[in-house]
Structures are given as C-alpha cells and as structure tokens.
Amino acid sequence: MGNDPYLSGKLAAQTVSGIQEAGIIASVKQFIGNEQEYDRNPSDASEQPGVTIPAVSSNIDDKTIHEL
C-alpha cells in the first residue's frame, strides 16, 4: 500500500475490517523490501517464447533494514 508504515497500517486495518464485515476471514502479511521487485519485468515478456528475464538482487544492507 506504500512506503509509509503508518499510512499502510491504517489502510490495512480498514481493508481487513471491510473484508471481515462481509464474513470473510482476512489475513495480513508484509514483506520488508518487497517493493524493490515492483514492475521489474516487461509486461509482455511472459508471452514471448525464449525470453529470459534476468534475476534482480534485492539485498538490503543492515543500516537500511534497520531504518525500514
């Protein structure tokens, strides 16, 4: 939902409340640094046979991870 942890928490809480009001069990999970892989693949690459998409390093150093 974004990089702002406070806003993301508020939005997630509202989303879960809305889902649960419909009688559905909601589960929330978050992966630190997951946004590093956002939109890393061309949209049509999976439709082209023989196209190889290189891996992307999502390593985060200790200082950065503690700031997140």
| pLDDT tens for the 68 residues of the chain, in order | 667 778 888 998 999 999 999 999 988 776 666 665 555 555 555 566 777 666 666 678 888 877 76
Asked if 19 and 28 count as a contact pair (C-beta separation under 8 A), the reply is: no
Question: pLDDT at position 36, please?
Answer: 56
Question: pLDDT at position 9, please?
Answer: 84
Q: Cα–Cα distance between 11 and 19 in angstroms, integer? A: 12
Question: pLDDT at position 18, please?
Answer: 94
Question: pLDDT at position 56, please?
Answer: 67
Question: pLDDT at position 37, please?
Answer: 58
Asked if 1 and 11 count as a contact pair (C-beta separation under 8 A), the reply is: yes
